[in-house]
Structure 1
């Protein structure tokens, strides 16, 4: 009997006991050297898969004639770009039992915190890059390999005049794992070797959207601020209210060609409004919460904002992915405000705006900005009250008070 066994990422801790038992009960194990090392106590015959696939097929054929149970170990899941189709073609009359593993696609989307039931996927390993979609209308998983590196995929889209966000997973589950999201322009210039990485292409914002979203997109592109809260997709993620967003953006003193970083972007409401103010610039939204990351991308698509780039992760850990910026907006620091202010790549004379809801945070912010020689430090405390209709009356609905701390980075003499 022939068993095709998925070993997932190829790490012992990701190997289910059922799969381990299946492999150990085979008479013959066939797989790559890394796969075979997962079963150091296996006492049967072993054959290491190499580039000479014909030799391996002959080993399988001989073992089948001897009525032996053969386990073929494949990385990831057998149903996702594995050796399974070739085995079914070579041994059409044999019973082939297939046992699933965690695919690289599953692992990558899990790392990104994104659902993948409606995603597209394609492999460019050993194939021409022309198999890639020329318009990215859905989340798309891409297997790379050989000469088709992630950098070449990024250049493919740059040559089409596009600059999509691309998540890159390399050596997933291994100590040297790399997981980053960047735009195609940055990825094309990435110097780190990326071998057999999996990519997630984020949808191009030329996708068809409904009339309401189109109207919203046009308004955002025109510099619309104070967008009503209900227009944003919210989920269970906190969002800066429209009255506060207007003041934050006013204190940021944004110019048309500015580069902006929004730290703790939440649903992306500030990032999206800021993007409308910089038609010649760019906004980088840093967010560590997977649900919030998905909402940022969903709101980005709804409002048709093409100059917004999501950077999953926490500040200041992801600052190496940032270019120098003119404006830094901090909505959440996770207790790391000092590290953020010390390391943010803010240009001289750049503006910084910090929002806080506690006296302690605003006090720490003022102290740090003073110590770091920021200029024009200003504190504003706001509490908006909305008057909501109740029958034929209007009742006060107070929003939480918010501190807005703003300053300008001093120019070195």
Structure 2
């Protein structure tokens, strides 16, 4: 049998009585140096392990072959970004008993004096920071670690022009405990060492209940054209817009760049789909810029940033993106693709209404070694009812090119 025992934050006062009893019923204790020191009176064998999982695996295999009952000590709770999934995978035939412990996330929310049943909980230890949602609709608890310090997390949000309020707890329950209430802009400039930190990030507008509910999001994409505020600026029609968004493969956390955003119809729908991510809309036409802002206000989109200017010049200050949608290029498709801050593996979707733009787009994607390049030609026809008959109203044909940026 393997027992996985959660020892909580790491001080004796927070070790449960059930864990104490289980330890003394064990033949062998396996854990880190700090965990083993919590039980100085243990009479059995103790094996100190580091972060080397291969070493831990070898130790447990040897103990089990000897028929001994082993207890693995883990900080926090075994089932929350800890060893439980790994042990179940490595020892599928063994009986595994789990005793929970108090996680630092629970302790942080208690320190902050707020409920955590509706919060989102993540760890960035050994994970890329783009797993963090940019637009917060509910509190976010984050376990930090490795290279992803609290300052790095704050800098990540600052890069995308978000400034959430933050509560930070370091070395909770220890004599050197530090508790700090700040925001991303202030935290990123601190030089303190927060090596054992947990963070709570708060929504920018917690009182806006509609923004916190997924029910406020559209049931599907494809907003009717007449729903948008219109002017004299061309707008991507509903039928084409749906295909462009489908080719973009937008997920809730996607970071989208919309070049030549026009009235903002694609930007608005992309922002609603990527409600945990963000959209940067680049547009040089002053009338179109105002239409984008009006549509942003109408649809209550908070994760859209308007960039006034033309590409590729306006791309210099844009942070890394997952998807790049190009509607207007002024014949500079290749230059835009070269300057666009698209992450490796990111998607590009380009629309063209002329054969020349199509040819330039194909050549640019090919020469820049984009993968999975695809071309679709669409001509939508709407049938308008006039008295007892319906007449065709053909829209201009549109080419939709898409591809994926190579990893190398």
| TM-score, normalised with respect to structure 1 | 0.50
1:63 to 2:63 alignment: yes
Contact 2:134 2:162 in 1 (8 A): no
Give the match for residue 243 of structure 1: none
Give the match for residue 140 of structure 1: 140
Structure 1 residues 28-60: Cα deviation after superposition (integer angstroms, max 9, x where no partner): 100110000000011111111113221211111
1:161 to 2:161 alignment: yes
Inter-partner Cα distance in structure 2 for 1:178 and 1:207: 28
Inter-partner Cα distance in structure 2 for 1:210 and 1:56: 48
Give the match for residue 45 of structure 1: 45
Contact 1:77 1:101 in 2 (8 A): yes
1:26 to 2:26 alignment: yes
Aligned-pair CA distance for 1:96 = 0.2
Structure 1 residues 128-179: Cα deviation after superposition (integer angstroms, max 9, x where no partner): 0000001111101001001100001001111111111011010000000011
Structure 1 residues 182-224: Cα deviation after superposition (integer angstroms, max 9, x where no partner): 011110011110013100000122886459xxxxxxxxxxxxx
Question: Aligned ranges for residues 161-310 of structure 1 at < 5 Å?
Answer: 161-205=161-205, 209-210=209-210
Aligned-pair CA distance for 1:119 = 0.4
Inter-partner Cα distance in structure 2 for 1:162 and 1:5: 39
1:15 to 2:20 alignment: no
Contact 1:151 1:187 in 2 (8 A): yes
Inter-partner Cα distance in structure 1 for 2:200 and 2:181: 9
CA 1:184–1:42 in structure 2 vs 1: closer, same or farther (change >3 Å)? Answer: same
Inter-partner Cα distance in structure 2 for 1:114 and 1:207: 15
| Structure 1: segments with no counterpart, 5+ residues | 212-303, 305-413
Inter-partner Cα distance in structure 1 for 2:206 and 2:139: 13
3-state SS in 2 of match to 1:198: strand
Give the match for residue 149 of structure 1: 149
Structure 1 residues 64-100: Cα deviation after superposition (integer angstroms, max 9, x where no partner): 1221110000000111111111100000011100000
CA 1:86–1:207 in structure 2 vs 1: closer, same or farther (change >3 Å)? Answer: farther
Give the match for residue 75 of structure 1: 75
3-state SS in 1 of match to 2:167: strand
CA 1:111–1:62 in structure 2 vs 1: closer, same or farther (change >3 Å)? Answer: same
Q: Which moved more, 1:184-193 or 1:201-210?
A: 201-210
Inter-partner Cα distance in structure 2 for 1:205 and 1:99: 38
Contact 1:8 1:75 in 2 (8 A): yes
Give the match for residue 96 of structure 2: 96
Aligned-pair CA distance for 1:108 = 0.4
Structure 1 residues 242-268: Cα deviation after superposition (integer angstroms, max 9, x where no partner): xxxxxxxxxxxxxxxxxxxxxxxxxxx
Contact 1:47 1:56 in 2 (8 A): no
Inter-partner Cα distance in structure 2 for 1:194 and 1:153: 12
Give the match for residue 120 of structure 1: 120
Contact 1:29 1:46 in 2 (8 A): yes
1:109 to 2:109 alignment: yes
Contact 2:167 2:182 in 1 (8 A): yes
CA 1:210–1:138 in structure 2 vs 1: closer, same or farther (change >3 Å)? Answer: closer
Give the match for residue 35 of structure 1: 35
Give the match for residue 236 of structure 1: none
3-state SS in 1 of match to 2:62: helix
Give the match for residue 5 of structure 1: 5
| Structure 2: segments with no counterpart, 5+ residues | 212-301, 303-408
Aligned residues: 212
Give the match for residue 316 of structure 2: none
3-state SS in 2 of match to 1:137: coil
Inter-partner Cα distance in structure 2 for 1:77 and 1:154: 26
3-state SS in 2 of match to 1:18: helix
Give the match for residue 359 of structure 1: none
Contact 1:137 1:207 in 2 (8 A): no
